Amino acid sequence: MKNLLLSPFEKAPFEHIEISHFKPAFEKALQEARSEIDQITNTSKAPTFKNTIEALEFSGAHLDRLSSLFFNLNSAETSEELQQLAQEISPMLTEFSNDIALNTLLFQRVEAVYDLRGTLSLSGEEEMLLEKKYKFFSRNGAHLSQEEKNRLRAIDKELAQLKLTFGEHVLAETNSFEMHLTKEEHIEGLPEGAREAASQLAASKGKEGWVITLDYPSYIPFMTYASNRELRKKLSIAFGSKGFHKDKLDNQEIVLKIANLRHERASLLGYESHAHFVLEERMAETPQKVKSFLVELLEKAKPAAVIEFDELKDFAFQIDGIKELYKWDGSYYAEKLKQQRFNLDDEKLKPYFKLEKVIDGVFKISHSLYGLSFNEVDDVETYHKDVKTYEVTDEEGRNVALLYADFHPRPGKRGGAWMTSYKPQYQKEGVNERPHISIVCNFTKPTSSKPSLLTFNEVTTLFHEFGHALHGMLANTSYPSLSGTSVYWDFVELPSQIMENWCFEKEALQLFAHHFETGESLPMELINKIKESANFQEGMATLRQLSFGFLDMAWHAQDPSKIKDVKKLEFDSFKDTMLFPDSPETCMSTAFSHIFQGGYSAGYYSYKWAEVLDADAFAYFKEKGIFSKEVAQKFKEYILSKGGTEKPMSLYKKFRGSEPKLEALLERAGLLKKTG
């Protein structure tokens, strides 16, 4: 088969790709990118914004497209062969990135333009690009000695491989565990849909009975509904001990190595810690500010969390005589208490949330707010038959974006949900190149008797990822590295988290929450209960999120060379947020992909930080109406379309008129009422 990856492509040619195509394509793209860099550095012309900064920005475009395609495939449709290839390709890309960052002649040209910035009459966006390019060099070793540069290269190469290995271990652990159940009492309490899915999974493996796995659509229902406490414990410990078995898939040494290499890298560059390095380019700015933010929220949330936990303990004792509540009891008794208090459970709601209707709902809401239309097309190549594709247009019928959507779990796909881009938005030579965006989730598959029905939590997940997708699709900037979600990490969750708010609003739910058999709308009584129950155990949920933020800071805001015991560090960092007794067999860090594989190292606090932004921003929508064209237009203009072309707080204030207030979050979460 002809290798279509060897030259630039418009849409990703998924159906014409063989794994053997990738390496030669990367080798050629790297060669072309190096040649483009050489042209910039070797010209005899004096450095200008256009021949240096802009030229650098648009260099390596084919390599960038190839990389986004390859690494998303490695997450969404991987294989041993692809993983092995990733181990070869990652160091090649790291080396290339370092070759640019440590290219003295190139940096001299960038620095020359940067030093003249006050005299160049640049636009705000051009100034941001210049600053970003300069910081790329200064934050990646341009000022180091040759010996230090060599060490930096070695660190980056090792980190790239360690992060890949970490992720492979987590995926292998997830895929290798299964709980095969053969007795009816083993699945007592499990909803019909979850039973059917477990039965079909068993049958697909040639087994009788039911198979439960660590994939979320299998794991979550079992932990929430299965009445067999011992089996919940077994599953919980398996889930919580990924990478923590002192075997070939153990991640403890890898985690320690990653933390120490990150710290060494930050020290080389003149920073006190990895967190100091990272947070220089965040809204939060310093580890001290992050810790103060986490502590302030902890002080507000902990009293409510303790009240909620005591209620849960009393409830478990009353109905089952449980004297000590453990992690594997939390979801189970919380669901029972929620049903008793609100007479609301996911199984009552699921028939109203057929996946296709929820997708249609998020499309209708996006149309109402931003004038977007989504037309499903079948002539776009995809990497798996489950992937759907949509042409996105505006009110004038102009092309806005191409959207890929991949919703169901399968063995080669990592857990969780994410948004990515196959082609960025940018403007060049008078053409506004439109983006190709993808959202990937892991929702329950349709069964032989039922369509894919979502839990309410899965509905909010879909809206969350779609918020990221809107940020990508509505991008309207000049440069790819400032476009879409290319913003500070503690700002990037605002567009995604604000979208979740519409899931709780009657006017929005009436657009898509219809019973999959009868077509009747979700009854008002259930809508009211969704709203009432929205803050159920919000104190406990907040403490859980804060615990991850504290753990992240424990790894990254200090010298980790003193850390010898991964579990002890974790126990110490959880002490102020811990409600359930610790399980010595489990460890969060060894599977904490967000900070050890993804981009959230020293940035996990961003979720709560962005909640403050989104609560404050949605309060504005509520004031004017949740489908207010005026507020939506401002949100589109100042948040969704601007990407990283201005500082986030400046953009936020243009949208809202003021800085965000913590009170909006506390009020929405119901934490003010519980604590006075």
Question: Tokens 């014409």 appear where?
Answer: 16
As given in the structure block, the two tokens for residue 361 are: 């709902």
Question: Tokens 């399968």 appear where?
Answer: 410
Helix (H) or strand (E) holding 393: strand 388-393
Contact assessment for residue 164 and residue 251, using Cβ atoms and an 8 Å cutoff = no
Q: Are strands 399-406 and 436-440 parallel, antiparallel or unpaired?
A: parallel
> How many angstroms separate the most distant Cα atoms in the chain?
82
Q: Give residue 496's identity as a one-letter amino acid code.
A: S
As given in the structure block, the two tokens for residue 392 are: 């996105």
* Cα gap 645→476, rounded to integer Å: 10
List the catalytic residue out of 54, 77, 335, 465.
465
Torsion region of 657: left, alpha or beta (phi above 0 gives left; psi -120 to 50 gives alpha): left
As given in the structure block, the two tokens for residue 338 are: 């929620």
Q: How many CB atoms lie within 10 A of CB 663?
A: 13
158 is catalytic: no
Q: Is 13 exposed, middle or buried (0-12, 13-18, 19+ CB in 10 A)?
A: middle
Question: Tokens 């109905």 appear where?
Answer: 319
Contact assessment for residue 66 and residue 33, using Cβ atoms and an 8 Å cutoff = no
DSSP 8-state symbol, 453: B
* Cα gap 560→263, rounded to integer Å: 7
Chain centroid to CA 205: 31
DSSP 8-state symbol, 120: S
226 by DSSP, 3-state: which?
Answer: coil
Please give the full DSSP string across 62-96, using - where no structure is assigned: HHHHHHHHHHHHHHHS--HHHHHHHHHHHHHHHHH
DSSP 8-state symbol, 205: T
Nearest partner of 495 among 600, 362, 613, judged by Cα: 613
Q: How would you label 589-606 residue by residue, b for 16+ Cβ within 10 Å and e otherwise?
A: bbbbbbbbbbebbbbbbb
283 by DSSP, 3-state: which?
Answer: coil
Torsion region of 271: left, alpha or beta (phi above 0 gives left; psi -120 to 50 gives alpha): beta
Contact assessment for residue 256 and residue 563, using Cβ atoms and an 8 Å cutoff = yes
Q: How many CB atoms lie within 10 A of CB 399?
A: 11
User: Which residues have a catalytic role annotated?
Assistant: 465
